[in-house]
Amino acid sequence: MLVQAGSIDPSKLCYLLRRLVTLAESKTKAYECFEQLLQFIYNMDVAMPELDMEWFVAKAWNIGVLCHRGNDTEEALKFMKIAQDVMQQSESLVEKLGNGLNYQYQELLRMRTSSTCDGKR
């Protein structure tokens, strides 16, 4: 049982959310699953398994990369930002991935700003 006597089984919750992300019919639905994950973490004070957290970070980030390759910069930034938000919930993931993901995110922001400025000239 997922919720029993006021407690949550983090492994089962992560499994269900991973399945929902994987089976999502759209990026919007997948994004909503990532938001739900963060809500569980923030509101329930649930410690999620590290490997699951890393999966969520990688999945959100990779969706962002695919959006970027498809020239949808705003959608890319949205998924990359939520990947960073999930990552921030784990000290070891911040240590392991933080600098690299932040650098790439900032580069994409710079590219967006640069292309926006170029388009206005």
This prediction's pTM: 0.86
Segment 91-119, tens digit of pLDDT: 999 999 999 999 999 999 998 888 767 65
Task: Output the CA–CA distances (angstroms, integers) from residue 71 to 66, 76, 83, in the order listed.
Answer: 9, 9, 19
Question: Is residue 68 a contact partner of residue 108, using CB atoms and an 8 Å limit?
Answer: yes
pLDDT of 120 over the 70 cut: no
Segment 43-67, tens digit of pLDDT: 887 789 999 999 999 999 999 999 9
Residue 19 CB neighbour total at 10 angstroms: 11
